[in-house]
Every structure is written in structure tokens, then in C-alpha cells.
Structure 1
């Protein structure tokens, strides 16, 4: 394929932790990373977060969904408008409310056409639906960008990216291959709950959005029996690719209900760490290192648990010059460029889809 001219793309991500919206500019041709650009963040206001929380698990047309979508669109418009003038295209993921790839499908709140009109910019969105329709899990979708990042940092051996958002996911990749959709280039899957149960716990008990710096977990003692029972969940015995909804392990929160705040927080933190370590059993080949992105890398208790569990270096992605706070927003900028070119955005190794497929649709602003 003839090499395309790189363009500036504005990507966004609002994850399952419900903290807010990341937006980042990336110069790319949809295959290689040319340059990282400016970025921004807009926290959800508490009424917006409450509207989204109330709609979790619901589908289009159900009560509260339109209100949640309006909150998502407004928050995205605010942060994207600060950067849109430098972009030729935008990538909009939306806010996941429900995800049942083997059931009702997948539902991300927010309409890309609304953003296209508001920003005066073409917007690629609805990245997951086509993958699910063709038998894929619809997640995770960042692996192709992880592959591009591995090549950007000059990696010459297999490595893994561990994303610790609301849900954890791993990408194993071999950057020696020329393209991420080739057999043996990528394997990706959700590992289990990560920040979501911890965030929910401290919100319920202390009215906080997160266990800042792992301060609460650092005061507690892990309940090993709860962690052992957690690892007996059938999900850990399924082969990848596989994916999770934010609340797929909702029963985990119930198991710590009788623990103190600190013991509950550290037990949920341990669950996130052991599920990531259990996921590494599926790697096709050993990795030289694990690079950690997402909010969980800011939790020193969780990072220490991971380093103890793995026998290779476990480092935040900043160690190789990447921005872990913006990596997923940059990923959807990268995927938007691939949608524009008609390139695959997922493949059997990343989502279990039957064949490499290009997801997403592009909405253009009304004249």
C-alpha cells in the first residue's frame, strides 16, 4: 500500500473509571507515529458523573441514557474545542455504559455526529459495533496503537502493555513483525477488574473519586482468602481473546463489605494485581518488560504488587517516553486515522473477531 501523508488527529477517551475526558493530538498516517502533540483533560462535573453512573448497564432508549449521552457530548465538546483547530480529523470513543459482546452487543453513549457539528471537524466514532457483529469481543481496541508505540520506542523483542483503567487489559506484541494484524503480532484481552472496584469502594465509603496514591490501601492487610476465591472465577479459565464489562465482577465488592476501609482497599488492589499476573499465563512467548499505562500506574501499592508478581521489569510507560495519562486518547486518534484509510482496527488476536476488520464510521459536519 502506498504510504499516506500523515495528518493531525484529535483523539479522546473517557474510561470506565468515570473520572473525565482525555483528549490528545497525534500526527500519524494510521500506521506509524510521526509526532505527539498537545493534550488536555476535562473532569466530569459531579452532576454529569451522577447521570452517567445512573445509566451504567443500560441500553439505547432506556431511562437515563439520553441524559448520560448529553453529559458525555458536552464534556467532550468542551475539551475537544480547545484542540480541534489543530486537527484534520477526530476520534471519539464515547462512554461505555454496557458491554455484552456475547449478548446484546456494546453500547457507548454519545453521538459522533453531534460532535462533528459542534467542532466543525470530521469525527470517527462507533469503533466497537462492527467488531462485535462479526463475532469479536469489541475490546480491547488499543493494541494496534500499542504495536505502533513499541515500534516508535525501537523495541526489538516481545513486550507487554498493561492498561490499568476501570478494567485491566494486557497487550502482548512482537514488534519485529511489520503489521499488527498479522498472525503472531498481537494478543490482547481484559485481565479482570482494576481501578473500578477500588474507586467504587472509596466513593461509597468516603465520598472520594479514587484511593489517591494508594494511601488507603497502604494502611491495610490483604484478605488472602477473598483473593483466592476471586481467582476461582470462571473468567480466569477462559482462553483469550476475552473482554469484560465494568461491572462483570460486581460480586467482588460484596466480598469485602465486612472489611475495614483499608483492608477492603488493599484486598481489591491485590485482586487487580493477581488478575494481571494470571493473564500473563496466556502470553505466546516471554516478554522482556511490562509497560504500565492507565490510572493504576499512579498507585504505588498496586505497582509494588505487580513488580513482586512478575519476574521482568514492570515500569510506567513514562520510562520509555510515552504519556500514560493520554495513551488511550492517542490510541483513538490513531484508530481514527486507520478508519479514514480503511485499515483494520482489530483482528482475531486482539478481539477474537473472525478476520481483521476496520471498525468505526465517520460523521462529517453539516454544511
Structure 2
């Protein structure tokens, strides 16, 4: 087995609130050590062009004239702020990574149409940092018939082994969109048949965040306080847009805005009742996901910002038969887990190992995705 190397992973999610950077010592199969991590938050005005592109991305595919200029500025914003996140983290440690895993910034994701769009030129980042950058993790998977997402499951497999899981476990990531990975750690490798089943469950934080922004001028329902004070309006959830997606067999993935119509169903509700109802929708989708799993997981380990929402965690605990815990319960860092995943995937790409498989994205066969750009 290859010797481990230090790799640095970068992640900026669909909430676009900052860049996570994390160091990981790995050979792409096992985790030898977790290095430090840091979040670099965006300040007001940092992402003016990117926000414009994300708000109306159809205007920029393809882009010409003024739209092309805005798109170029957005691309520059992504690169500059990711480079700053790397520089900040490396200034705080003596670790020198041999690779940087760069996810880029997702603007839109349309697996049904066979494409996904992440802004961020890895070759430009490699030149800026004078380091090897591994990037464009999704394209090869989609070319092989996959949905290009989710990409963290291979890392989840390594984590399940690392924590000594003896029975299947579910990693639930609650970001803007929620996704789950069912892991059978007894299998020999993540690409082995039956080792992994991964898919997006439905909305995560995005709908609640949009509701709070529109109705209360707040970026989120901090700790689920608004939802805790509200009543779930179950009648508003009947016949919602999630039904067809929930019935679909995985693998399957979503765009952040695929369930935005659910917001209109909240019209007339108080801030608190709308937050409670949208939180319940996200939980309902997770519960529905359990039916697709080969067997019930022994526990649910929750990462992503949603694990800090006390109301969502309480609802999940009440709705699921198995224990529901934040990943910190097993000694993992829920803030840095996705950034660590791209550090892990970068090493797998350098070694020519698969990063996705039929059970994670629906690709025809295991795919070794990612591009490598030398400085």
C-alpha cells in the first residue's frame, strides 16, 4: 500500500458563506492523520459578480458581451478567495501539502440534462499558489453516465473504517441540499459492489435559509430557534414537489433550487410556522431515504451546518429508529469533513483510483475523475 502524503482540500458550498480548507494525511485509501483546518468567511462585497451569476445563471450559458465580463470577474473571485484560504491555513502550520483538492463553486447542477457547472479554474489556482491542484472532479463521472454527485461517499467509506464501524452506518450531510451515504465497512473497497449507496435526500438548509432571509432578514434559522417556536403545518406539505423525487430510486442528485416551489406553499404562515414546516420537510425527506437503503444503518452521523440546528436534530431523532448524532460523537470534525473529502479525493486522483461508482452516482463503472494541474 502506498505511503500517505499530506493533501489540502477546499470546499465552498452552495450557501456561499466562505471557504473551508483542511489538511489530511492519506494514501487515498486510509486516513493516517487529520491536519488542521480553517474557515475563511466571505465579507460583504467579496462575491458581487459570483452572486450575480448564481442568481441568474442561465444568462451566462453561454455568455457574451457584458455577461462574459461578469463571468470572468466571478471566476476571479472564486480563485482569489480560495487561494487566500490556502495561504491562511498554510501560514498557521509547518505542513507542506503535495496536492490541493479544489472543488470550485457550484453555480448550477442539472444531472437530468447531463451537465454540472462549477466555477474555478484549477490551472489558474495552481499558478497562483505554485502548487499542484487536482480539480474538475465531476466531469468524468457525468461522461460515464453518472450524476456527478455526491462525491464525498468514498471518503465516508474511509471514515467508517477509521472509526472502527462494525456494521453499516449512514453519514448524513445537511448543507443547502442534504445527502446521505450508507456505508458497509465490511466490504474490501469503496468501489466494491454493495459497499456504498449515496444520494441526495432532498432540501437541507436552503429552503429554511431562503425563508428566513425573505421573511425575517436573517441568513438562517440559528440553532432552529424559529422552528422550535413554530407549528408544523402538515397540510402545506401534502402534494409537495418532493414526492416524485423521493420515490425515485437512487443514485440521484439535486440542484439547490429544485424545491424552491415549496417556499410558495408557505405563503401566509408566520416566520416561525414556515421555518418549522420547511424543517419538517427536510426531515421527512431523510426519513423517506431510509427506505432505499439495503439495510437499516446502525447509526446516523450528521455533518454539515444542519447538525447545529437543534430543532432539525431533535426532529430527526424522533423520526428515525436509529441513534442520530453529530459526527463529533465519533471524534470527527463536522465543519471540515467536506474539505477533507476533497483532500482525500485529490490523492486518489493522483494514484489513478476511482472517486465514484455506480452505487454513488449511477455511473456505468467506477470512475477515476479529476484533472491535475501542475504549477
**Shorter-normalised TM-score: what interval?**
over 0.9
Does 2:66 match 1:65?
no
* Secondary structure in structure 1 of the residue aligned to 2:157: helix
Give structure 2 stretches of 5+ with no counterpart: none
Q: Which residue of 1 aligns with 2:223?
A: 213
Compared CA separation, residues 340 and 268, structure 1 to 2 (3 A)? same
Bigger mean CA offset, 210-219 vs 61-70: 61-70
Paired residues for 1:58-97 under 5 Å:
58=58, 61-62=62-63, 63=67, 64-84=70-90, 86-97=96-107
Does 2:141 match 1:143?
no
Does 2:165 match 1:155?
yes
Q: Which residue of 2 aligns with 1:247?
A: 257
Does 2:319 match 1:309?
yes
Q: Which residue of 2 aligns with 1:108?
A: 118
The RMSD of aligned alpha carbons is 1.4
Q: Which residue of 1 aligns with 2:24?
A: 26
Q: Which residue of 1 aligns with 2:244?
A: 234
Match of 1:292 among 298, 302, 306: 302
Q: Distance in 1 between matches of 2:39 and 2:258?
A: 27
* Secondary structure in structure 2 of the residue aligned to 1:199: helix
Please say if residues 242 and 259 of structure 2, whose CA atoms lie closer than 8 Å, have aligned partners that are also in contact.
Answer: no
| TM-score (normalised: structure 2) | 0.94
Please say if residues 241 and 261 of structure 2, whose CA atoms lie closer than 8 Å, have aligned partners that are also in contact.
Answer: no
Shift of 1:213: 1.0
After superposition, give the CA deviation of every residue in 1:34-55 in whole Å (9 maximum; x if it has no partner): 0000111111222234433321
Shift of 1:75: 1.4
Please say if residues 202 and 242 of structure 2, whose CA atoms lie closer than 8 Å, have aligned partners that are also in contact.
Answer: no
Q: Distance in 2 between matches of 1:67 and 1:105?
A: 22
Please say if residues 14 and 20 of structure 1, whose CA atoms lie closer than 8 Å, have aligned partners that are also in contact.
Answer: yes
Match of 1:180 among 161, 185, 190: 190
After superposition, give the CA deviation of every residue in 1:136-170 in whole Å (9 maximum; x if it has no partner): 00000000000000000000101100000000001
Shift of 1:77: 1.0
Q: Which residue of 1 aligns with 2:143?
A: 133
Match of 2:45 among 25, 28, 47: 47
Give the count of matched residue pairs. 363
Please say if residues 230 and 271 of structure 1, whose CA atoms lie closer than 8 Å, have aligned partners that are also in contact.
Answer: no
* Secondary structure in structure 2 of the residue aligned to 1:71: helix
Q: Distance in 2 between matches of 1:146 and 1:247?
A: 25
After superposition, give the CA deviation of every residue in 1:229-270 in whole Å (9 maximum; x if it has no partner): 227631111100000011111101111132111111111111
Q: Distance in 2 between matches of 1:255 and 1:31?
A: 45
After superposition, give the CA deviation of every residue in 1:267-294 in whole Å (9 maximum; x if it has no partner): 1111111101111110001211000000
After superposition, give the CA deviation of every residue in 1:186-236 in whole Å (9 maximum; x if it has no partner): 000000011011111222233322111111111111110122322763111
| TM-score (normalised: structure 1) | 0.96
Please say if residues 292 and 315 of structure 1, whose CA atoms lie closer than 8 Å, have aligned partners that are also in contact.
Answer: yes
Q: Distance in 2 between matches of 1:65 and 1:244?
A: 23
Q: Distance in 2 between matches of 1:163 and 1:188?
A: 11
Give structure 1 stretches of 5+ with no counterpart: none
Shift of 1:302: 0.2
Please say if residues 191 and 276 of structure 1, whose CA atoms lie closer than 8 Å, have aligned partners that are also in contact.
Answer: yes
Q: Which residue of 1 aligns with 2:15?
A: 17
Q: Which residue of 1 aligns with 2:292?
A: 282
* Secondary structure in structure 2 of the residue aligned to 1:244: coil
Q: Distance in 2 between matches of 1:203 and 1:71?
A: 24
Compared CA separation, residues 54 and 195, structure 1 to 2 (3 A)? same
Q: Which residue of 2 aligns with 1:355?
A: 365
Q: Which residue of 1 aligns with 2:212?
A: 202
Shift of 1:15: 0.7
* Secondary structure in structure 2 of the residue aligned to 1:208: coil
Q: Distance in 1 between matches of 2:118 and 2:180?
A: 21
Does 2:335 match 1:341?
no
